Amino acid sequence: MRRETDRAIGFQGLFGDPDAYRGRTALLGGEIIEVRNFPGNTLIFVLQRPLGLRDEPAVDKKSGGRFLVIAPGFLDPAIYRAGRKVTVVGIVQGELTRRLGDLDYRYPLALIRDIHIWTEERAGGYDYYRWDHWGWGWYPSSPWHDLYWGY
């Protein structure tokens, strides 16, 4: 799917004039804000983030705005929940205006061709404040240590 995307489509250009990119395949990513299911399709509200290594959204980078993706069928909001990172290959459909607070917000809209939801990372990874099983002091924990020692 990545080969089919038009890498020349930058989010700022898409955000400024979505109709100019209608029918082109874009690679977009960000954090899910909200998922709404309707009969026959699902609408995903995404806070855009620049794509980094392996096209994973870089949540520490500044967002260029919001966009919408529409997926045929049902996407479970327990899986596609707020805060999860997604990368989408989608065909630009133009824009869709929705209320955001007290204003009308113009969302670039894409029809999903492919979607990747990124795995949630283990919080911290290392715990420098855990006491060693044998009482010998502090140590960085790891998944392997936890599996071996059972805690």
User: For residue 11, what is the enclosing H or E element?
Assistant: helix 11-16
Residue spans of the domains in the chain: they are 2-117, 121-151
The predicted-structure confidence for 17-53, as pLDDT tens digits, reads as follows: 999 999 999 999 999 999 999 999 999 999 999 999 8
Pairing of strands 66-72, 103-117: parallel
Tell me how far apart the alpha carbons of residues 88 and 114 are, in angstroms, rounded to a whole number: 6
The pTM of this model reads 0.77
Q: Per CATH, which fold does 2-117 belong to?
A: OB fold (Dihydrolipoamide Acetyltransferase, E2P) (2.40.50)
Alpha helices in 17-142 (DSSP H): none
Short-list 49, 39, 90, 94, CA closest to 69: 90
Q: Are 19 and 41 in contact (CB under 8 A)?
A: no
